[in-house]
Structure 1
Amino acid sequence: MPALPTHARAVRFDRYGDRDVLYLADIPMPHPAPGEVLVEVRAAGINPGETRIRTGALHDRFPATFPSGQGSDLAGVVVGLGDGVTDFSPGDEVLGYSWQRSSHATHAAVPAAQLIRKPEALSWPVAGSLYVAACTAWAAVHAVDPRPGETVAVSAAAGGVGSIVVQLLGLRGARILGIASSANSAWLTANGAVPVSYGEDLAAGLTAAAPGGIDVFIDLFGPQYVQLAVDLGIPPDRIETIISFELAARYGTKHDGSAVGSNREVLTEMADLAAGGRIEITVAAAYPLDHVRDAYAELEQRHTHGKIVLVP
C-alpha cells in the first residue's frame, strides 16, 4: 500500500456549544496501539447523542475532554496494524465503532475487536452508519422481547433507529404502531406499521389504533413517551427507552442502548440482515467532512427519515 500521509483531518470542538463550535483540524496521523487497527475512513454516521455531548447536555454521564473529537460509527479500509492483530490485513474493508470519539475523521485507530469485515453488498454510507442505529435498535427490541402478535408502540418510528426497530419488530411478527409525523405515514404503512401521528391527541390515537390495548412501548425520542406509556398502563418491564434515563429510574422501565449491543456478534447479525435485504438502512443524506455543521443542522431538525453520513 502507498505510504501514509503524516497528518489526518478530524472534526474537533474546544468547548460546549452549538454547531458553530465544530471545526476541521489537521492532526498527527493516529498510530495504532497494540490490538488496534488504523482505518482510512470512507463513511461515518452522525447521531443525536453526539449533539447532546457537544452541547454539554450529557456532561454528567459522558463528559467531554477538550479538545474533543467526535463520532463512533465508521467504515473504511485497513491501512495499518498494531502489534498482535492477526484477524485483519491492510486493504481489508471493515465496519465498526470507536469509543474514543474519533470516527469523524479521515483516519481513526480502532480496537480490532470493535470491527468486522464489511459485507460486499453494503455500500460505504450504509456500512458507515450501521453501528449506533442498528445495535441500539437490536438492544431496544431485545430489552422488551416482543412476541408474535403483540402490539408494540414505537416513538420516532421513522428515524434512524426507529426505522430499524420497526423492521426488526416486523421480522418478529409483532403488530406495530409507528408514532411519527404524517409525512412518514406511507413509509410506515409500506413496512407493516400502523401510522399514528404525534400531537395533543396521541393517547386517543393510540387507543383507537389498538382497542385491545398495547403490550409493549419502545421510546426513541424523549420523556413524554415514557410517561405516556406508564399512563396507558403498560407494565414497566415492557417499556423501553433509549433516552429518558431519569424516568426509567423513577418507573423501573428498561433503558438498554447501543452499549448492550456493542459486540461483534450483534454487529455481524445486523450487517448480515442489511446485506441480505431483510432490513433496509436508509441513508437520508451524505455530507463531506468539512460540511459537518450542515450535517448536524439537518440532523437537529429531528425530522430526518434515516441516517445522515459524513464522507471524508
Structure 2
Amino acid sequence: MSLAVQFSDYGTTDVLRVVDVPPPDPGPGEVRLAVRAAGVNPVDWKILSGSMRQVMPLRFPAGLGSDVAGVVDRVGEGVTAFGVGDEVLGASVTPSYAQSALATPSALVARPASVPWEVAGTLAGPGITAWETLNKLEVARGETLLVHAAAGGVGTFAVQIAVARGARVIGTASEANHARLRSFGVEPVTYGPGLVERVRALSPTGVDAVLDASGRGEIPDSIELAGGPERVLSLVAFDAADTGIQIHMTEPGAGGADALGHILALIDEGRLSVPIHRAYPLDEAATALEVSRSGHLGGKLVLLPA
C-alpha cells in the first residue's frame, strides 16, 4: 500500500484526504515511479474547486498533480527507455500527490544529479508550458515580449527562456518581485490601470508578442500593445477566445521530453534558475494548495511524499 492525496467531491482543501491505496500497476508502455517530489501549481486548486470541470472533468475519487520526479520501481511491457532504479523527472499520467505514480517514457527525462529532487519535481508543467507557448508565439532574438504574471510559475520559466533566446522581456508583477525579475534580465512593471502607458514608457512602439499567465483582464491592453491579437497568447483567459488571441492548454502527462531537455541544459548553463518557495510533506498538501492560492510567492511549491 502507498499514500495518496484524494478527494471525493469538488470543494475547498477541506475535502482533501491522505489515504492508503494500492500502488498502481504500470500498463504496456508505462513505468511506475516511487515519487520523491511533486510540484504544486495553481491549476491544481482550480481543478479541486471544480472551476476546470468543463475542460477537465474528474472521476471520483480523484487526485491532484502531474509534475513529478522519482525513481522507477516497476516497468511495463515494451518499455526500454528506462529501467528499475533510474531517477527521472517529468509529468505523470496518474496524480503525483502520491507516493506512487505512473508515467510514460515520452514524458520523462533522466534527472541530473546536479538538480535537487525538489527542483526536479517542479519543472514539467510550467517549464513545458513556457517552452511551448514561446514557440507558438515565435519569439525571436531582438523582439520584445511582454509577460503577465512574470514572477509566477509559468512566468518565471518563460521570462528566463525568452532572455536566453535573445529577446527583450518586459514583465508585469507586484513590486515585491521586481528585484528578482531584474536579476533574470527582465524589465518589470506593475499591474493595474495605466499599464499601457507604463509599458510604452519602456517600449514606445509597443511589443512584438504577449504571454498572459495572469488572467487579470489585461487582454485588451495586450492586444493594443501588440498591435493586434495574432501574437497574444493566454493560458487563463478562456473567455477572451473570441477576440482572436491564442489560447493554450497543456495536457497533463503528455510528451515534453524535448522541452525538458532544453530546460535542463539552460539550468546546467546557469541561464535558468528555479527558486523554491517551500517544500511540504504529503500530509500538508492542503496547506501547500492554500499557499499557492494566496499568490505572490517567491518561488515554486513542492510536495515531498517519501
* TM-score bracket relative to the smaller structure: over 0.9
| 1:75 aligns to 2:47 (yes or no) | no
TM-score by length of 2: 0.94
Checking the alignment, whether the CA contact within 8 Å between 1:160 and 1:305 is kept in structure 2 is: no
Aligned partner of 2:128 in structure 1 is: 135
Q: How many residues align?
A: 304
Once the two structures are overlaid, the 10-residue window that deviates more, 271-280 or 191-200, is 271-280
Structure 1 vs Structure 2 CA RMSD: 1.6
| 1:66 aligns to 2:60 (yes or no) | yes
Secondary structure (helix, strand or coil) at the match of 1:299 reads helix
Change in CA separation of 1:213 and 1:46 when aligned onto 2, cut-off 3 Å: same
Checking the alignment, whether the CA contact within 8 Å between 2:233 and 2:248 is kept in structure 1 is: yes
Once residues 31 and 259 of structure 1 are traced to their aligned partners in structure 2, the CA distance between those partners, rounded to angstroms, is: 22
Aligned partner of 2:247 in structure 1 is: 255
Superposed, which structure 2 residues align to 1:49-198 within 5 Å? 49-100=43-94, 102-198=95-191
Once residues 175 and 34 of structure 1 are traced to their aligned partners in structure 2, the CA distance between those partners, rounded to angstroms, is: 45
Secondary structure (helix, strand or coil) at the match of 2:10 reads coil
Change in CA separation of 1:233 and 1:70 when aligned onto 2, cut-off 3 Å: closer
Identity %: 39
Once residues 63 and 286 of structure 2 are traced to their aligned partners in structure 1, the CA distance between those partners, rounded to angstroms, is: 14
Match of 2:203 among 189, 193, 210: 210
Q: Which amino acid aligns with 1:74?
A: V
Once residues 9 and 171 of structure 1 are traced to their aligned partners in structure 2, the CA distance between those partners, rounded to angstroms, is: 40
Alpha-carbon offset, residue 223 of structure 1 = 5.3
Once residues 143 and 229 of structure 1 are traced to their aligned partners in structure 2, the CA distance between those partners, rounded to angstroms, is: 16
Once residues 42 and 298 of structure 1 are traced to their aligned partners in structure 2, the CA distance between those partners, rounded to angstroms, is: 21
Q: Which amino acid aligns with 1:135?
A: I
Checking the alignment, whether the CA contact within 8 Å between 2:226 and 2:232 is kept in structure 1 is: no
Alpha-carbon offset, residue 263 of structure 1 = 2.5
Secondary structure (helix, strand or coil) at the match of 1:232 reads helix
TM-score by length of 1: 0.93
Checking the alignment, whether the CA contact within 8 Å between 2:280 and 2:304 is kept in structure 1 is: yes
For structure 1, list consecutive stretches of 5 or more residues without a partner in the other structure.
Answer: 1-6
| 1:37 aligns to 2:54 (yes or no) | no
Secondary structure (helix, strand or coil) at the match of 1:229 reads helix
Alpha-carbon offset, residue 27 of structure 1 = 0.3
Checking the alignment, whether the CA contact within 8 Å between 2:195 and 2:221 is kept in structure 1 is: no
